[in-house]
Amino acid sequence: MKNSKRVSTTQTMIPIPPFDIVFESNQMFALLHSELDFILEKMGKAFKEQRWRRIYIRSLFAFIESCAYRLKQDAMIFKKFPLKEVYILKEKRYHLNDKGEIVEENLHLKTLANLRFSFDVYARAWDINFKLDISDVRWEDLKKALKIRHRITHPKNLKDLVISNDEWLKVMHAEQWFYEELSKLHHAVVIAQKEKTPK
């Protein structure tokens, strides 16, 4: 089966220092976000050019989905989660094949549900009270931006590849909202850690 593999019972894991993993995540976030800035810079006055808009939207969701994944991986370093959540955190599922062997498969999660879950578990891992602000109108813009991403990724006709000015504005608002929420999450972690540090 596609994306399936047998799980080895003898496989050994090489431990990686926890804070090295978190540092890597932060580097990834910075790199992916800088790519968005780079695309906007290249667009310049050509921001109405459809090709650049499509490139930007694909890069935006690469950034968002990568962040969601890394937040979950980082969360597991600092907290033990129930088994039912661990499967979601690892984005894996398991079943038995006809030979009675355990088979591992990738678990494909819905983007927005996964995003909310990843922020939630990361906040719990650091024992902070944080929830994504989905009351912000830009959360709705993110939903619309995701539909646009799906449309341009799987176009049925030429019209599907065209991103209107109104749609482009929603994409810009969605990116702003996400980056603000990610920044607020990391800031809340920093504050919590300072409060726990003995003076």
Decide: 145 and 171 in contact? Cβ < 8 Å.
yes
Which comes out higher in pLDDT, residue 175 or 4?
Answer: 175
Q: How far apart are CA 75 and CA 192, in angstroms?
A: 15
Token couple for 155: 């176009």
Decide: 94 and 103 in contact? Cβ < 8 Å.
yes
In this prediction the pTM is 0.81
Task: Count up the domains in the chain and report the number.
Answer: 1
**CA-based nearest residue to 134, from 173, 90, 181, 88:** 181
Taking all residues of the chain, what is their mean pLDDT, rounded to a whole number? Answer: 86
Which comes out higher in pLDDT, residue 84 or 148?
Answer: 148
Distances (CA, A) of 137 to 76, 117, 133, 141: 31, 20, 9, 7
- Tell me what percent of the residues of the chain surpass a pLDDT of 90: 64
What's the whole-number mean pLDDT along residues 57-75?
A: 95
What's the whole-number mean pLDDT along residues 96-118?
A: 94
What's the whole-number mean pLDDT along residues 121-129?
A: 93
Burial of residue 116 (CB within 10 Å: 0-12, 13-18, 19+) is: middle
What's the whole-number mean pLDDT along residues 176-189?
A: 92
Q: Is 17 left (phi over 0), alpha (psi -120 to 50) or beta?
A: beta
Q: Which domain holds residue 43?
A: 4-8+16-196
3-state helix/strand/coil string of 17-33: CHHHHHHHHHHHHHHHH
